């Protein structure tokens, strides 16, 4: 039995192992309802962007700094810290293990957000937001194989899942869903340092949070 570390898998290997099909989308709006930000939200977003710009212009930003400076405040602002959503950090997530023929794929996710169980489970809408935070000098696409591997397992419990790969500056959202075979849809790449794109980033996070 061959054991593979999910961090070492290439996109081609993930596509082959799980029969993933790739699609591209030119807009978020067919899938999400993006609402205008309030003046307070826009002001806080500007502060987050300005704080991050200070670190970014000074040099390489570490994965830990990306989480602390950008991801945590953005997720709070988008509503991910409010009930019924629970944030589960990497050290508290059980190691994933997927068997595929003669291979076992193992790994661990950086940040995972899930809704808590509703009282009426028959009407419960379960979803997952997967985030792979990477060093600011690394392209977000590097984390895509790992993200898809985790999302593949979550498709056993739901028809679709939203994913996000980011290095702090660039944000690549992916919509993964189950058709005849698993399909992932690459959404437009967002640059957090551009005012219009950072606004859209927060709008997308808020829309996913409210699903």
Q: Tell me the DSSP string of 29-91.
A: TTT--PPPPPHHHHHHHHHHHHHHHHHHHHS---HHHHIIIIIHHHHHHHTTTSTTEEEEEGG
Q: What burial class does residue 184 get, using C-beta atoms within 10 Å of its C-beta: 0-12 exposed, 13-18 middle, 19+ buried?
A: buried
Do 48 and 179 contact (CB within 8 A), yes or no? no
Can you give the pLDDT at residue 158?
80
Asked whether the whole model's pTM tops 0.75, one would answer yes
Q: What is the mean pLDDT of residues 115-126?
A: 46
CATH code of the domain covering residue 40: 3.90.1570.30
- pLDDT, averaged across the chain: 82
Phi, psi of 158 (to 5 degrees): -155, 165
Question: What is the pLDDT averaged over residues 186-199?
Answer: 96
CA distance 51 to 111: 22
Residue 145 structure tokens: 């194989």
Quick one: pLDDT at residue 123?
A: 35
Range of the domain at 25: 2-117+125-209
The total domain count for the chain is: 1
155 within 8 A of 162, measured Cβ to Cβ: no
User: What's the whole-number mean pLDDT along residues 117-134?
Assistant: 50
pLDDT band at 97 (very low <50, low <70, confident <90, very high): low
For the cut 80, the answer to whether the pLDDT of residue 8 exceeds it is no
State the Cα–Cα distance between residues 86 and 186, nearest whole angstrom: 26
The pLDDT value given to residue 64: 83
**pLDDT score for 152:** 81
Q: How confident is the model at residue 95 (pLDDT cuts 50, 70, 90)?
A: low
How are strands ordered across the β-sheet holding 103-107? 2-5, 103-107, 96-100
Q: Tell me what the mean pLDDT of segment 58-81 comes to.
A: 90
Measured CA to CA, the distance from residue 132 to residue 173 in angstroms comes to 11
Give the single-character DSSP code of 210. T
Confidence check: pLDDT of 179 > 70: yes
Between 105 and 196, where is the model more confident?
A: 196
Helix (H, G, I), strand (E, B) or coil at 142: helix
Q: Which residues contact 33 (CB under 8 A, 6 or more apart)?
A: 207
Q: Counting beta carbons within 10 angstroms of the beta carbon of residue 121, is it exposed (0 to 12), middle (13 to 18) or buried (19 or more)? A: exposed
């Amino acid at each position: 039995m061959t054991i593979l570390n999910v961090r070492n898998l290439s996109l081609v290997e993930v596509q082959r192992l799980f029969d993933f099909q790739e699609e591209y989308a030119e807009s978020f709006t067919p899938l999400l309802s993006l609402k205008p930000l309030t003046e307070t939200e826009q002001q806080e977003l500007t502060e987050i962007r300005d704080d991050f710009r200070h670190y970014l212009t000074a040099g390489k930003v570490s994965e830990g700094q990306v989480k602390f400076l950008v991801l945590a405040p953005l997720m709070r602002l988008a509503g991910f810290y409010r009930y019924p959503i629970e944030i589960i950090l990497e050290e508290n997530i059980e190691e994933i293990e997927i068997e595929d023929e003669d291979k076992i794929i193992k790994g661990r996710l950086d940040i995972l957000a899930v809704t808590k169980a509703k009282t009426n489970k028959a009407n419960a809408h379960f979803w997952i937001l997967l985030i792979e935070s990477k060093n600011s000098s690394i392209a977000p696409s590097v984390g895509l194989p790992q993200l898809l591997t985790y999302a593949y397992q979550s498709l056993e419990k739901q028809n679709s899942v939203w994913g996000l790969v980011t290095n702090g500056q660039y944000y690549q959202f992916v919509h993964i869903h189950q058709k005849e075979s698993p399909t992932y849809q690459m959404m437009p790449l967002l640059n957090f340092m551009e005012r219009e794109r950072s606004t859209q980033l927060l709008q997308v996070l808020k829309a996913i949070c409210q699903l």
